Amino acid sequence: MWKTIVKKELLENILSYRFPLFGLIAMLLIPLGMYVNQLDYTKRVRDYEEQVRLAGEAASSLKIQDVMAGTVAIKGFRRPALLSVYTRGFESILPRYYEFTQEGSKPGESSSGEESILSVQGKFDFVFLVQMVLSLVGLLFASDVIAGEKEAGTLRAMLSNRLPRDAVLTGKVAGGFLALWAPFTAAFLVGLLLLILGAFPIFGGDTPARILVVFLAASVFLLAYFTLGTMISASSAKTRTALVAILLVWAFFQLMVPKLSDMLAAIIHPVRTETQISLEKSLLAGSLGMETARELGRQFDLIFGAAPKGAADDEKSPERIKWDALKAGIEEKAKERKAQQLGAIGETYRQQKRRQQDLAVNLSLVSPSAAFARFVADVCGTGELERTKYNEAVKAHERALDGALFSKVKRTLMIHPGGGTSLGFSAQPVDFKTLPQFTIAPASLADVFKANWKSLLSLAFWLIAPFAAAYVRFIKYDVR
Amino acid sequence: MATSQPILKADDLSMRYEDGVLALDHLNLDVRPGEVYCLLGANGAGKTTTINLFLNFIPPTTGTCFINGIDVTKDPLEAKKYVAFVSENVMLYGNFTARQNLDFFAKLGGKTALAKNDYYQVMRRVSLQEKAFDQRVKNFSKGMRQKLGISIAIIKDAPAILLDEPTSGLDPKAATEFLEIMAELKNEGKAILMSTHDIFRAKEIGDRVGIMREGRLVMERTREELQHEDLNKIYIDYMKSAEQAT
C-alpha cells in the first residue's frame, strides 16, 4: 500500500509541468556552477603557484643585511581550497598570504578586492544554488502534497479505503521528495562528470568522501525543506494559502535569519574593531620600545661614562663584558614584557570576538540554511574551520620564523639621558635555504563533524520537527 | 427483497458537531445484500453525515456503525475493506489517465494483481468510451467522471457501496445509465446506500426509501409500499410539516 502511494506521488509529479521544468533548471544550473567555479579555481591555483615561485626566488636571494635593515618580509601563501568549486565560503575573504616580519605578521590582500558589487548577493556555486533555488523548489514541490489532495477531494477518496493515514503521509513525502531528488542527483552527477572531464583532481586523498558528504548534506537539506513544506501543506486547507506561507517561511530562513544573526550578535556582544586593536598594539609596542631604549641608553652611559675611550668597542674590556650581560638581560626582559602585554591584548580581543561569533552562529542555526552552508563550507575547506586553521598556521609560522630567522638578528636602539640616540646591530648566521615552509594543517572529516555538531543538530531538528508537526496535523485532520 | 444479515447497519447513531449542531439524532437503519437503500432529505438533513460516519471520517457522538458486522469506530481499516465509496463529485487525479486512476484506486482497494484488460473491461461495463480509457481525466465531463467513480467501486468488489448524491448534476441519459449500473450491482448482491435529492430515481431504484429530516429518519417505505403511494407527495408533505414546525 505504501509503495502504491509512493509510486502514485512520483508519477503525479513526473506528469506535472514542474518536474521537467525543475529538471531543466537543475541540469542547467548545477553543472554550470561547477564548470564556472572549476575555471575560477584553476586560475586561482595558477596565480598561487606563480606567487609561491616568485616568493621562493626572493627568499633564496636574501642576505642577513636585508634582515638587519628590517626590509625583509617572508610571505606564507594559502593554497586555494580544491572543493571551493562547490562553495566559495571564506575563499574570497581570507588573505591570499601573510607577511612575516620581525614585528610579527600581517595579512596580505584577499581576492575579494577584485570582485564586482554583484558578488555581495552570493557566489554562483553549488551551495548557493541549493540554498537559494532548490530550497524554494523543494518547498514549492511540497506545497500541494497534502493541501492539493484536500482541495481536490482526492484525500477523501483515498481515505475511504483501507489505508492508514501514516502510510499516506510517509508515502506522499517519500514519493514527492523522490521526484525532487532524482533530477537533483542527476544534475549533481553531470556536474561531477564535468569536473572529471576537466581533469579536476577529485580522486586524491579524502576528496571523494568529502564530495559524497556534500551531496548527502545537500540531500538532507532538501529533505528538511520538503518536510517543512509538507508541514505547511498539512496545516493549510488550500494550496494557495500554503504557497503564501511557504514564501514567507523561505524568506525568513533564507534571507532574514542568516543576515540578522550577525547584526544581533554585534549589538548584544559588541567588540572593538581589528583596526582599533592593531592601533593599540602598535602604540603599546612603540611605547615599550622607547622605554627599553631609554633604559639601555641610561645603563650604557652609566657603564661607559667614566670608562676609558674604546672600552665600548673592545669585546674583552670589563665594561663591555658587563654591558653585554646587562643589555641581554634588559632586551630579554623587554621582549618578554612586550610579548606578554601584546599577547594579552590579542587574546582578550580573540576571546571577545570568538564569543560574538559563537553567538552569531548559534542565532543563525535557527535557520537550516545557515546550518547547511556552515557545514558544507567546512567540508570543502572554505569555512570557519579553515579560517581557524589558517590563523593557527600563521601563529605557528611566526614562532618558527622567529626561532630560525628574526631572533638571530638584533637591533638595539638607545636613547641617552642627554637626548642623543644610537642604533646598534648584531646578527648570527642564517641559512635562508632551510627556513621553515608555511603550511596549513588540513582539517580532517572527523574534525569537520566534530566542529559542526550544532549545525548537524540543527539540520536533524529541521528534518524531524516539521515532519512530526505534519504528522500530528494530518492524523488529526477532519477529512470531511 | 433481501433477507440475510445486514452489511451496513447504523445502530442508534447520533452526531453532534463541535458547534452544537445535532446532525444525526438516534438513526437506525440497515442495508442487506442485494438491497438498495435510498436516503432522501433536504440539505443538512444528515444524509452525508451518515455516510461520513460509515467511512469513519468522523466519530459518532453516540451509537455505532457496522460494516459487515465490524464496528467502524473500533476497527476502521478492517471495516473499509468491505465498502466502496462514490461521492457527488468524483475526485480523480487530473494528470492521470482513466486507467491510471483506476489502477491506483484498485490497488488501494487491495486489488494488486489486475491486468490492463481487467481495467478496460470494467470501464466498458460502465459504458465509458474506449477512446477515453487512456486519456487524462482532467478534461472529462461530470458524467464520465461519475462512470469512472463507479468503475473504481466495481473494481474494489466490496460487498457494500456508499453513494453520496451520485446523480446530482448528471444529464438524464447519464443518470439513467448510472441507475442501470446500480441495478446490475444490486443483482450481484451488493448492499447499496445512496443519499439523493432525486425522488423519481429513488423510487425507481430503491428497495427501501428513507426520508431524513433534521437528523432523524422520519419515514421509511419499501418498494412494495411505494407502489400504492406517491413518494413525491409524501416527501413534500414531510418537508412542509418541517417548515411549519419551525
CATH number of the domain where residue B56 is located? 3.40.50.300
CA distance B181 to B145: 14
Q: Are residue B168 and residue B151 in the same domain, yes or no? A: no
In chain B, helix, strand, coil percent, each to 5?
40, 25, 35
Q: Are residue B172 and residue B74 in the same domain, yes or no? A: yes
Confirm or reject contact between B133 and chain A (CB < 8 A): no
Confirm or reject contact between A46 and chain B (CB < 8 A): no
Closest-approach residue (CA) in chain B for A479: B57
Contact A456, A375 (CB under 8 A): yes
Contact across the interface for A478 and B85, Cβ inside 8 Å: no
Q: With CA atoms as reference, report the closest residue to B232 among B45, B50, B40.
A: B40
Residue B17 is predicted with a pLDDT of 87
Q: Which of A7, A144, A161 is best to mutate for the B interface (most B CBs within 10 A)? A: A161
Residue B1 is predicted with a pLDDT of 46
ipTM score of complex: 0.87
Choose among A1, A11, A480: nearest Cβ to B57.
A480
pLDDT tens digits, one per residue of A372-421: 999 999 999 999 899 989 989 998 998 888 888 777 777 788 888 878 88
Residue with cell 453520496: B164
Q: Are residue B121 and residue B76 in the same domain, yes or no? A: no
Chain A with chain B: Cβ pairs closer than 8 A: 66
Contact across the interface for B84 and A160, Cβ inside 8 Å: yes
Residue B19 lies in a domain: yes
Q: With CA atoms as reference, report the closest residue to B174 among B130, B129, B136.
A: B129
Residue B139 is predicted with a pLDDT of 87
List the beta bridge partners of residue B30. Answer: B9
Which residues of chain B neighbour A4 with C-beta distances below 8 Å? 104, 107-108
Contact across the interface for B105 and A16, Cβ inside 8 Å: no
CA distance A28 to A34: 11
pLDDT tens digits, one per residue of A226-262: 999 999 988 888 888 888 998 998 888 888 887 888 8
Question: Cell numbers of B80, please?
Answer: 473499509
pLDDT tens digits, one per residue of A20-46: 999 999 999 999 989 989 998 999 999
Q: With CA atoms as reference, report the closest residue to A360 among A437, A291, A453, A257.
A: A257
Residue B233 is predicted with a pLDDT of 78
Choose among B90, B95, B162: nearest Cβ to A12.
B95
Choose among A4, A153, A161: nearest Cβ to B89.
A153
pLDDT at B3 over 60: no
Choose among B89, B108, B156: nearest Cβ to A158.
B108
Which residues of chain B neighbour A159 with C-beta distances below 8 Å? 55, 57
Residue B2 is predicted with a pLDDT of 47
Residue B127, sorted as left (phi over 0), alpha (psi -120 to 50) or beta, turns out to be left
Q: Are residue B153 and residue B173 in the same domain, yes or no? A: no
Which residues of chain A neighbour B108 with C-beta distances below 8 Å? 1, 4, 158, 161-163
Contact across the interface for A160 and B80, Cβ inside 8 Å: yes
Q: Which of B17, B54, B91 is best to mutate for the A interface (most A CBs within 10 A)? A: B91
pLDDT tens digits, one per residue of B68-85: 999 999 999 999 999 999
Confirm or reject contact between B17 and chain A (CB < 8 A): no
Residue A221 is predicted with a pLDDT of 95
Q: Are residue B170 and residue B227 in the same domain, yes or no? A: yes
Confirm or reject contact between A480 and chain B (CB < 8 A): yes
CA distance B46 to B63: 15
Choose among B78, B93, B108: nearest Cβ to A163.
B108
Residue A120 is predicted with a pLDDT of 58
- What CA–CA distances, in Å, run from B42 to A134, B197, B239, B243? 50, 7, 8, 11
Q: Which of B111, B137, B157 is the last residue of a domain?
A: B157
Q: Are residue B194 and residue B220 in the same domain, yes or no? A: yes
Closest approach of B244 to chain A, Cα-based (Å): 31
pTM of the model: 0.84
Which residues of chain B neighbour A20 with C-beta distances below 8 Å? none
Number of domains in chain B: 2
Write down the domain spans for chain A. 1-271+367-407+444-480
Domain that holds residue B147: 93-157
pLDDT at B108 over 60: yes
Closest-approach residue (CA) in chain A for B101: A8
Helix segments in A365-452, DSSP class H: 368-379, 384-404, 445-451
Q: Are residue B170 and residue B192 in the same domain, yes or no? A: yes
Mean per-residue pLDDT over chain B, rounded? 87
Contact across the interface for B57 and A159, Cβ inside 8 Å: yes
Residue B21 lies in a domain: yes
Which residues of chain B neighbour A11 with C-beta distances below 8 Å? 96, 100
Q: Are residue B75 and residue B162 in the same domain, yes or no? A: yes
Contact across the interface for B96 and A12, Cβ inside 8 Å: yes
CA distance A174 to A2: 10
Within 10 angstroms of residue A64's Cβ, the number of other Cβ atoms is 17
Residue B242 is predicted with a pLDDT of 66
Q: Give, to the nearest 10 degrees, the angle between helix A207-235 and helix A165-197.
A: 150
Contact across the interface for A480 and B52, Cβ inside 8 Å: yes
Which residues of chain B neighbour A158 with C-beta distances below 8 Å? 108
In chain A, helix, strand, coil percent, each to 5?
70, 5, 20
CA distance B186 to A199: 72
Contact B98, B63 (CB under 8 A): no
Across the beta sheet with B36-41, the strand order is: B83-86, B160-164, B191-196, B36-41, B208-213, B216-222
Q: Are residue B208 and residue B225 in the same domain, yes or no? A: yes
Residue B243 is predicted with a pLDDT of 65
Contact across the interface for B108 and A4, Cβ inside 8 Å: yes
Residue A8 is predicted with a pLDDT of 92
pLDDT at B231 over 80: no
Residue B87 lies in a domain: no
Residues 67-126 of B with CB under 8 A from A: 77-78, 80-81, 83-85, 87, 89-96, 100, 104-105, 107-110
Contact B246, B240 (CB under 8 A): no
Closest-approach residue (CA) in chain A for B93: A154
pLDDT tens digits, one per residue of B40-52: 888 888 888 999 9
Which residues of chain A neighbour B152 with C-beta distances below 8 Å? 157
Helix segments in A237-313, DSSP class H: 239-251, 257-268, 274-304
Q: Are residue B207 and residue B101 in the same domain, yes or no? A: no
Q: Are residue B151 and residue B169 in the same domain, yes or no? A: no
Higher pLDDT, B32 or A257: B32
Confirm or reject contact between A4 and chain B (CB < 8 A): yes
In chain A, which residues have pLDDT < 70? 111-122
pLDDT tens digits, one per residue of B133-175: 999 998 888 888 888 988 998 999 999 999 988 877 777 887 8
Q: Which of B139, B157, B175 is the last residue of a domain?
A: B157
CA distance B37 to A368: 56
Which residues of chain A neighbour B164 with C-beta distances below 8 Å? none
Q: Are residue B120 and residue B170 in the same domain, yes or no? A: no
